[in-house]
């Protein structure tokens, strides 16, 4: 069966690497924020990060990104249409097919979690990926046991997803649940409990991407799969020039016209430009402890987007 070969190929090398110990989660005090507000400048020892092209203290990014996604929650599909030239739906369909949820899972020693896949969809507030996962498991693999938890840090995105779930057969069933969570620190999710961790068009907005990858490694079962769909770097110079002109010239303007929100769309364009290249992000996944299957990523539409995968090792060396 194709599904079995997919799992075999993903797990073949999963016995070869040891896990990298997770880095501690960092927080920042209110007093630090107060001192920054008084002086207008961050203290010398303040950790900095990027918000689009702007450099800001790490402590400010979560609230700034939250404001962006609260603003675009109701027009999320429109946003993705603009950012992807309208083909994000095809990418998402391909992403789900490549993971084949609901296919037979490989046997794992000591795994007593029951039938079906346990999927964690991070930054999945509106349900785009989760609903596709459940549809694929049910309609393609005749599996009615697979379940998805949608986790998102933004309550407005979760509210939009809950509203959309009313029109699906998964509403008010044990197969679909929602939780508000920060992907960099999810203490409510046990170690080694998730079969598949997905994040689509979300990780580039995280404050500490490496911490999120380490947390993904922690919650996945041995042999579990990390899968990320994200905007990436176009690999054709001519097309890259055209795409950048479209992104920086047209998208913020259309965002102003369609959603009356130029600033949010400007940030989203800049966040794509700031995101690591395919090779750089692959190295980050590997640094978190994952085995990289094959090349580690698949370019979509000349690299406008890319699918990245990693596998948690089955055993320690």
Higher pLDDT, 12 or 208: 208
Q: Is residue 59 part of a domain?
A: no
Query: Is 306 domain-assigned?
Result: yes
Q: State residue 288's pLDDT score.
A: 98
Q: Which tokens hold the place of 46?
A: 């303040």
Are 289 and 216 contacting, i.e. CB atoms less than 8 angstroms apart? Answer: no
Binding site annotation covers 236? no
The tens digit of pLDDT for each residue in 239-273 reads: 999 989 888 988 888 888 877 778 888 888 889 99
Per-residue DSSP letter, 51: E
pLDDT tens for each residue of 21-41? 443 333 333 333 444 444 445
Residue 147 in any domain: the answer is yes
Strands 305-311 and 297-300: antiparallel
pLDDT (tens digit per residue) in 95-128 = 999 999 999 987 665 666 668 999 999 999 889 9
Q: Is residue 78 assigned to a domain? A: yes
Mean pLDDT computed over 67-92? 76
**Is 55 part of any domain?**
no
Q: 262 is in which domain, residue-wise?
A: 2-13+74-106+113-311
The answer to the question of residue 98 being in a domain is yes
Instruction: Note the pTM of the prediction, 2 decimals.
Output: 0.79
- Residue predicted with more confidence, 45 or 31: 45
At residue 80 the predicted structure's pLDDT band, cuts being 50, 70 and 90, is: confident
32 belongs to a structural domain: no
| Residue 152 counted as an annotated binding residue | yes
The overall average pLDDT reported for the chain is 83
CB-count exposure of residue 124 (10 Å: 0-12, 13-18, 19+): buried
Q: How many domains does the chain have?
A: 1
Measured torsion, CA atoms of residues 110, 215, 21, 48, in degrees rounded to the nearest 10? 180
> Do the annotations mark residue 172 as ligand-binding?
no
42: in domain: no
CB atoms within 10 A of CB 297: 22
CATH of the domain at 296: 3.40.50.150
């Amino acid at each position: 069966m194709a599904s079995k070969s997919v799992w075999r190929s993903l797990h073949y090398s999963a016995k070869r690497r040891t896990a990298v110990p997770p880095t501690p989660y960092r927080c920042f005090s209110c007093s630090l924020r107060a001192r920054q507000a008084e002086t207008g400048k961050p203290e010398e020892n303040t950790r900095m990060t990027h918000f689009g092209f702007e450099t800001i203290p790490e402590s400010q990014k979560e609230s700034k990104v939250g404001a962006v996604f609260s603003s675009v929650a109701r027009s999320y599909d429109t946003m993705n249409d603009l950012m992807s030239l309208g083909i994000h739906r095809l990418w998402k369909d391909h992403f789900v097919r490549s993971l084949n949820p609901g296919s037979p899972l490989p046997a794992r020693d000591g795994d007593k979690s029951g039938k079906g896949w346990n999927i964690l969809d991070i930054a999945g507030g509106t349900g785009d990926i989760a609903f596709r996962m459940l549809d694929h498991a049910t309609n393609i693999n005749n599996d009615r046991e697979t379940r998805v938890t949608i986790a998102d840090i933004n309550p407005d995105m979760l509210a939009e997803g809950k509203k959309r779930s009313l029109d699906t057969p998964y509403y008010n069933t044990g197969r679909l649940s929602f939780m508000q969570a920060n992907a960099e620190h999810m203490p409510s999710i046990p170690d080694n409990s998730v079969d598949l961790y997905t994040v689509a068009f979300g990780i580039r907005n995280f404050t500490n991407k490496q911490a999120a990858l380490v947390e993904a490694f922690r919650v996945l079962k041995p042999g579990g799969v990390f899968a990320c769909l994200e905007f990436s770097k176009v690999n054709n110079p001519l097309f890259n020039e055209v795409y950048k002109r479209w992104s920086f010239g047209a998208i913020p303007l259309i965002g102003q016209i369609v959603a009356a929100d130029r600033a949010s769309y400007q940030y989203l364009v800049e966040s794509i430009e700031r995101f690591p290249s395919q090779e750089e992000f692959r190295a980050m996944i590997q640094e978190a402890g994952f085995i990289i299957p094959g090349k580690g990523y698949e370019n979509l539409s000349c690299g406008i987007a890319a699918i990245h995968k990693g596998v948690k090792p089955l055993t320690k060396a």
